[in-house]
A and B are shown apart, each in its own frame.
Chain A
């Protein structure tokens, strides 16, 4: 299993993680080893097998549409790193 440096960079970008060159190298090495181990699955004939996304088969879990009191805004904002006027504040998005 050989990964391209590109593959790591793309995954890092999608994950919003910044990696130093040293980290990239070490992660590439370890992921190659792990993904190499996964090639084991090639041995299986899975052509006519359905995929399982969940251990219990459930579909359309509904609940009655009742109004209820949600958590208090103040309690939630208590944990905000930055807030203003009852909202989360972040750096300017539109220039």
Chain B
């Protein structure tokens, strides 16, 4: 028999609506599974058993009164611990925010609460979302449910691992350079990074503000559409949020992709790419072709410069964003006799090594004498990368690439070599620089049984087409039904 926790939101939502199960039962099933399995996966930083059950009870009581509820009502979800949640500790996996209880909910959390979603707890990430493996969390290393000796990817590794291990119905991640898509790929989930400006950044801890975007990590494409319906849209409290109408994303499910123009950027099929990943992505492309998509090659000539530009821009913005952690208003304060000592000691004790590295790198590239050589050059590179995509999208509706050049790597393999860790994001970073929407979805397993994902990149604000293509592809295989053995 299928366990309740294995069901997608699309599947369980009907059972809740018809009252064949209650939200309390569903929430209890997840809490039981967390108690049983999470000691192996280590996805959760905080589990909110009591408040989750009381939220579930409240939804059940609304339902019993005959109120019309959202398809997300009573569904247990676990956001990445970077989303501010009123009354629930939010650490960003950093020691500097240990014990921090936000006085308010961010916009995405507020929107989910308006839909009566149950918040199960908060899941792990690389400290301040800086990393590609979740090993840089100050609290714990999360394990890939498909092979516990391997990383789940990052920085939203807790989200991806929790969804893959059925420790929540869905999660919300954040993506600055691939932090939703790469872990989704390594754990076999569907992960969507919406267009920059589509989902509000208000009340989500900032890493690199011109790149950060919030999005869902789910068991399948339908769930992705359901969550996008809840979280997308303009928010006056985020000055970079864009005021455009939001479609009903479920209308893109069950559509034909006949005649859709699919571009294959050759620069993404790089040397050093795992052969099994390559074959698997090529097979996915063939499947799209079989369904009537028109496939052709395209060139994005500046792709190879994206990582260099990104690792100037993102640390520069981070060094400025993280200046707020000074021990004065919230978070860790070190014992000290003067104000300058207070700043320095609190930051030195509170931040981990990778965060310090990025703050120093960002400060260096922004400092007098280096600003033009690094920062301005990186921003100009960003312009040429964007224009590559603008040209490509004159001819194509969607681009297809691998999400990650390899499947999940071993825990400890890259922690001492930051540059190798940065190169793991080669396929996802260019998309953030261009601000475009992109999705990772499963397209197979390698010979070790590890999930492989491929990436769909869309035009600005055209998440709908990504959902359409992804759903059409998803109908042809059974990857979402395959589960890791835990």
A85 interface residue, CB < 8 Å from B? Answer: no
With A55-B196, A56-B196, A71-B104: A33-B360 Cβ-Cβ less than 8 Å: no
Which of B101, B331, B360 gathers most chain A CB within 10 Å?
B360
8 Å CB interface, A21-57 against B: 23, 27, 30-31, 33-35, 37-38, 40-41, 43-44, 46, 49-56
Q: CB distance A37 to B308 under 8 Å?
A: yes
Q: CB distance A15 to B347 under 8 Å?
A: yes
Q: CB distance B378 to A41 under 8 Å?
A: yes
Q: How far is the CA of A88 from the CA of B327 in the complex (A)?
A: 10
Q: How far is the CA of A52 from the CA of B341 in the complex (A)?
A: 37
User: Binary interface profile of B, 429-458, with partner A (CB < 8 Å = 1, else 0)?
Assistant: 000111110000000000000000000000
B408 interface residue, CB < 8 Å from A? Answer: no
User: Which residue of A is nearest B360, CB measured?
Assistant: A11
8 Å CB interface, A49-95 against B: 49-56, 58, 61, 63, 71-72, 75-76, 78-82, 88, 90-93
A18 interface residue, CB < 8 Å from B? Answer: yes
Q: CB distance B344 to A40 under 8 Å?
A: no
B351 CB contact (under 8 Å) in A17, A50, A61, A75: A17
Nearest-neighbour CB distance to chain A for B161, whole angstroms, equals 27
Q: How far is the CA of A91 from the CA of B335 in the complex (A)?
A: 10
Q: CB distance B309 to A41 under 8 Å?
A: yes
Please name all residues of chain B whose beta carbon is closer than 8 Å to the beta carbon of A37 when the two chains form the complex: 307-308, 311, 419
Q: How far is the CA of A40 from the CA of B332 in the complex (A)?
A: 39
Q: CB distance B344 to A51 under 8 Å?
A: no
User: Binary interface profile of B, 214-228, with partner A (CB < 8 Å = 1, else 0)?
Assistant: 000000000000000
A-B pair count, CB < 8 Å, reads: 162
With A40-B308, A41-B308, A56-B435: A16-B329 Cβ-Cβ less than 8 Å: no
Q: How far is the CA of A17 from the CA of B239 in the complex (A)?
A: 31
Q: CB distance B100 to A79 under 8 Å?
A: yes
Q: How far is the CA of A81 from the CA of B326 in the complex (A)?
A: 11
Nearest-neighbour CB distance to chain A for B87, whole angstroms, equals 10
Q: CB distance A90 to B328 under 8 Å?
A: yes
User: Binary interface profile of B, 92-136, with partner A (CB < 8 Å = 1, else 0)?
Assistant: 000000001101100000000000000000000000000000000
Q: CB distance B380 to A91 under 8 Å?
A: no
User: Binary interface profile of B, 320-350, with partner A (CB < 8 Å = 1, else 0)?
Assistant: 0000001111111100111111111101100
Nearest-neighbour CB distance to chain B for A23, whole angstroms, equals 8
Please name all residues of chain A whose beta carbon is closer than 8 Å to the beta carbon of B343 when the two chains form the complex: 16
Please name all residues of chain B whose beta carbon is closer than 8 Å to the beta carbon of A46 when the two chains form the complex: 377, 380-381, 384
Q: How far is the CA of A75 from the CA of B357 in the complex (A)?
A: 33
Q: CB distance B367 to A38 under 8 Å?
A: no
Q: CB distance A80 to B379 under 8 Å?
A: no
Please name all residues of chain A whose beta carbon is closer than 8 Å to the beta carbon of B332 when the two chains form the complex: 81
B382 interface residue, CB < 8 Å from A? Answer: yes
Please name all residues of chain A whose beta carbon is closer than 8 Å to the beta carbon of B339 when the two chains form the complex: 90-91, 93
B294 interface residue, CB < 8 Å from A? Answer: no
B79 interface residue, CB < 8 Å from A? Answer: no
Please name all residues of chain A whose beta carbon is closer than 8 Å to the beta carbon of B418 when the two chains form the complex: 30, 33-34
A38 CB contact (under 8 Å) in B302, B311, B337: B311
B386 interface residue, CB < 8 Å from A? Answer: yes
Q: CB distance B329 to A80 under 8 Å?
A: yes
Q: CB distance B329 to A88 under 8 Å?
A: yes
A14 interface residue, CB < 8 Å from B? Answer: yes
Q: How far is the CA of A34 from the CA of B364 in the complex (A)?
A: 12
Nearest-neighbour CB distance to chain B for A27, whole angstroms, equals 6
Q: CB distance B363 to A11 under 8 Å?
A: yes
Q: CB distance A41 to B377 under 8 Å?
A: yes
Nearest-neighbour CB distance to chain B for A68, whole angstroms, equals 11
Which of A12, A44, A81, A93 gathers most chain B CB within 10 Å?
A81
Q: List 5 A-B contacts (CB under 8 A).
A: A34-B311, A38-B311, A44-B302, A49-B380, A61-B239
Other contacts beyond A33-B418, A81-B332: 5, CB < 8 A: A17-B351, A40-B304, A44-B377, A91-B337, A91-B342
- Return the 10 tightest CB-CB contacts between A and B, nearest first: A55-B435, A81-B333, A51-B379, A75-B103, A79-B330, A46-B380, A55-B196, A52-B382, A52-B383, A49-B380
Q: Which residues of B contact A (CB under 8 A)?
A: 100-101, 103-104, 196-197, 210-211, 236, 239-240, 242, 302, 304-305, 307-309, 311-312, 319, 326-333, 336-345, 347-348, 351, 356-357, 359-361, 363-364, 367, 374, 376-384, 386, 418-419, 422, 432-436, 460
